[in-house]
Amino acid sequence: MRHKDIYLAPLLEAALIAVIALGGWVSHSPLVFASLGPTAFELIETPERPSARPYNIIAGNIIAIGAAFFALWLTGARGVPSVSSAGVPGLRVWAAVLAAMLTVFGTLLLKATQPAALSTTLLISLGVMQTLKDAGLILMAILLMTAMGEPIRLWRQRDRQRAQ
């Protein structure tokens, strides 16, 4: 790891999260959620990985959203209480398992692997964010993260190639 990365990477990742969090604060919408952390990490710290490319981030999360909603429908878990400190209802377990399996299958099939997409599928299948409005907010935040992060990812990738 280069010395400047110790300072630059945390600042860049924090900036990506901050812009989206501020957007959520201003719009009173939950634009910040678990999938964005690993996505910011990949964009900044592993820019050369295929999973950090826009196609993988966007397609992977779209697949995750679809897989989670399909799993909720198939298991009937949508009306079951979401995960809480009291536990995980059985139908939510099956919805999460099915959603994760379908997400991995879909991302592999479409060459859109994206580890953070599994966070997205769990957010939905476990009932944390399971409405169509939530799905739209997730997609909007993913698109914002990708649009802001892609120029930084390309710059980091070129910078690393020059340093080798």
In tens digits, the chain (164 residues) has pLDDT values of 566 778 889 999 999 999 999 999 999 988 889 889 999 999 999 999 999 999 999 999 999 999 999 999 999 999 998 887 668 889 999 999 999 999 999 999 999 999 999 999 999 999 999 999 999 999 999 999 999 999 999 999 998 888 87
Q: What is the pTM of this model?
A: 0.92
Question: Would you say 31 and 123 are in contact if contact means Cβ atoms under 8 Å apart?
Answer: no
Instruction: Identify the CA nearest to 52 among candidates 64, 32, 35, 38.
Output: 38
Range of the domain at 35: 3-163
Total number of domains constituting the chain? 1
**By CB neighbour count within 10 A (0-12 exposed, 13-18 middle, 19+ buried), where does 1 fall?**
exposed
- Which three-class secondary structure state does DSSP give residue 84? strand
